[in-house]
Amino acid sequence: MRKLWRLVVDVVFWSYERGSLPYDLLVIAILVFVLLTPRHWFNDQPRLHTPTAAGQIQLIDVDTTTSVEVFRIDASLLGTPRRTLELEKETHELLSRSVSSLHGQMFQIVQIQPVRAADGTVTGYDVRIKPTH
**How far is 74 from 57, CA to CA, in rounded Å?**
6
At 63, phi and psi to the nearest 5? -100, 105
Instruction: Give buried/exposed letters for 2-39 (b at 16+ CB in 10 A, else e).
Output: eeeeeeeeeeeeeebeeeeeeeeeeeeeeeeeeeeeee
74-89 mean pLDDT: 75
- Higher-confidence residue of 42 and 105: namely 105
pLDDT at 87 over 60: yes
Domain ranges of the chain: 2-42, 57-131
- pLDDT in the model for residue 31: 93
pLDDT band of 33, cuts 50, 70, 90: very high
